[in-house]
Amino acid sequence: MQELLTVYKNAGIYHLENCCYFPDSPDSKEVHTFESKLTDLIDSVLDNGKKYWGTPGKDAVLDYLRRCGGFEEEIKELEGMGESSDIASYLVSCAQKSKKRAAAKEEAAKMEMCPSDAAQLLRYEDLKQLGLTAWDIAQNLVENDLALYPDVAPENEGKPELWKEYLSRYPETFAYLVDPSNKIVGNWSFLSITEEQERAMEAGELFEITFDVQNTECLFLPGDYVLYLLNFSCNEAYAKAQYYQALLDELWKQLLDYAKNGIYFKRICINLFHPAYEALWRGMGFQFLVKNRISGRIYAQSMVPFPFKLKAKDPTILSELKKRYDEHFTV
């Protein structure tokens, strides 16, 4: 029994939930926990030889498998075996099957949690066609933000009721990545701030909870505006280049569509809550402006002259956007 205990220790076998102890051993008061179930037991057999797999070994394995659960079929066959070599051979076979099953489950879990090409880029009307209401969308957006930025203050997040108004009033200012279950897993959203709000932003005193449709610049008529990005993010499982590129291209397409209708932005600003996103926007030429008094760090980029560091997967979008901005702001 002491030799068997030594095998367990040498194999480094632990488990957070299931315990196995040996009352007849000198270490009778010591409780041994096991990290993995069958495969580590087999590894100890292969490493230390089959000499330890006599009756005590068989009984210990049976006791352990009963504690683990899920090995009813193996337990039944083991109970009918008498020879050590038969037990060892059978357990090796079980271990190989167990490893294959575990690998298959792990791969399936990865595909489910982090699909490669599952998300699609949709707009507000697309989501309505899928059966989502403005309230559903707004609530999903807030939940995503709180999951990604647990330290964001309520003043810089806003409530679903607030964003529901903007969704229906300014649907062009939102874009979404949606997974196969129609859950939003990424998005961008923006609005245009007034001169007074711009001054408050520069002082670190602009808070999203104060926004409402009445004090937001109307993006229906030609003119020069200041764009304030409310959010640009992907859920962790979708934090991939292809999705960020898709969101960026969709943002530039929207700005190009606005430019075709005489709507331009002389400045783009964003409040960032994560170092990775700060690096993303700094890489496109955005400069740190001020720390928000409650939470976040404000970055800004002048669009006059047109910034050369902006990035897009489709370069023709930015070249067309630059042409229009250069023509508009040099007149």
| pLDDT single digits (tens) 33-85 | 333 445 555 555 445 444 444 445 566 667 766 776 667 777 787 777 765 55
Q: CA-to-CA distance for 285 and 129, rounded, in angstroms?
A: 37
C-alpha Rg value of the chain to the nearest Å: 30
Report which of 173, 109, 180 is spatially closest to residue 141, judged by C-alpha positions: 173
Token pair of 245 as six digits: 């590129």
SS3 17: coil
Average pLDDT in the chain: 79
In this structure, are residues 301 and 319 in contact, taking their beta carbons and an 8 Å threshold? no
* Least confident among 81-95, 211-225, 251-265, 312-326: 81-95
Helical H runs in 188-264?
195-202, 241-260
Q: CA-to-CA distance for 211 and 206, rounded, in angstroms?
A: 9
In this structure, are residues 306 and 325 in contact, taking their beta carbons and an 8 Å threshold? yes
Cβ-Cβ contacts under 8 Å for 310 (sequence gap 6 or more) = 252, 284, 285, 318
Tell me the per-residue pLDDT of 131-141, one tens digit each, with 9 for 90 and over. 999 999 999 98
Distances 87 to 84, 92, 276, 288 between C-alpha atoms, Å: 5, 9, 53, 67
| Pairwise pLDDT comparison (49 vs 283), residue with the higher score | 283
Q: CA-to-CA distance for 56 and 39, rounded, in angstroms?
A: 19
**pLDDT over 60 at 10, yes or no:** no
Question: Peptide bond before 305: cis, by omega within 30 degrees of 0?
Answer: yes
For position 114, what pLDDT does the model report? 47
